[in-house]
Structure 1
Amino acid sequence: MPIRSTAAPVQRASLRRDQVNRRNQRVASYHELVRPIALHYSALSPEYPDDLIQVGLLGLIRAAELFVPSLGTPFSAFARHHIRGAILHYLRDQAAPIRVPRRQQELEDKLRQVIRSRQSLGQPPASPEEIRDALGLGIEQWERFQRLRGLARPLSLELQSQEPAAPELVPSAAEEAGAAMAVLAQLAPGPQAVVRQVVLEGHSLRRVAKALNVSPMTVHRQLNRALTQLRDQLDCGERVVSSGLKSRRGSSAVQAC
């Protein structure tokens, strides 16, 4: 019988390792792009910054996988596009858009101006009382404004493309970037598939729900639970990185924290 050459599989494995190494190097080098973009959109929506940071981190990983240097686009610009796109896609899928009154839109615009003004002056985030005073709202008007913010995302969210300058990074940012894919790979198959299809591949909740033969609400819940798991495990720091790299026992590494 003819002997099959193992050269091709070995070459493919070597090529894949090189690709993964390049991806990881890009993620480690550019992870600082994620935080300011996530904080920017967190200020424009009811979502928590940590959730958007994790979504943005996955967008960065996707950018690192798709980047083609020969096209001449700087990776920083390419990465920002994918980070922003992943976050906006996540925000759009969190709830059905509700058209808000014109007055609410005007207040949203004024709120963004207040936030940007304080950021440009290097001032700390405003308290709710300071924001209410800046918007010129009474207590009842403020409460109504807050309720509407919780029900609807600003319709002009995609137009807010200028992120603030990057703040000082937390010490664990590089470790989070390096550990994200290891933690994602250890999630249960269902939540892992949802995160990959919705966040990394950019599919809508409805499309993913149809492919999985479940309701969009089920996909929505799985996505939120998966992102919570990612955040919790990345918060464990080096213990998760060590488990993800050294353990091959399925979900046991995820449960280590």
Structure 2
Amino acid sequence: MEAGIIALWHTYGESKDQTVRDRLVLHYAPLVKYVAGRVGTGLPAHVDVADLIQSGIFGLVDAIEKFEPERGLKFETYAMQRIRGAILDDLRSQDWVPRSVRSRARDVERALERLGARLQRTPTDRELAAELKIGLGELRELYAQLQLTSVVALDELIAAGRSAGGAGSSLAESLPDEGAEDPIATLVDQDSRRQLADAIAQLAERDRVVVTLYYFENLTLAEIGKVLGVTESRVCQLHTRAVLRLRTKLNEQLES
């Protein structure tokens, strides 16, 4: 099988034949399903994973057409970045997040900043709810509403403060592959990875576990739920909370 794929790549490199490209698309299609499934686990139930897969296919085609084997990069790693980028771009263009939800997300981030500065530590959910003048249950319902904003957030956390790469460039598209096996790790350079690690280290233990397992160990939300002994919906809330807190901490680093 490996020899066959190498031959396909060689043929496509010489001819750019669409039929050969389509055979490559079919071979790597499981990557799209995998990435779409991972992105979809952090989205509200009304978001159809089939739509994410359709967007991801465009990303896969783009990856095949732009891939340069002579650079020595692993195609699967490169393709997963392009697929994820295509899916997130489609989510942004659809603007599935209501304006009121975006406003509430900003309210939560500002409250986290105020409390963090005042307490000199990560605030608890109860403290955050009190700052927002809402109940603890209402805060957790708010986390559920903010799920969609948290999915696109991590891809932009470091990129938001960077001037390099050009306007409109995503972090996944602008940074070189370092030969790392983890596709998420290739999205950040050494300095950015240090900033991200510092911010993660400041999170509460459970938030830190969720971020680490989801983004760096490639566990699904359901699998993380089994590790923590909680439901998948609760992990989804924890994931949203963790990303909001992480974004707040990274913004503080960028401003300091």
- Band of TM-score, shorter chain: 0.3 to 0.5
Higher RCO structure (Cα 8 Å, ≥6 apart): 1
Q: Could you tell me the TM-score, scaled by structure 2's length?
A: 0.38
TM-score (normalised: structure 1):
0.38
| Structure whose CA Rg is larger | 1
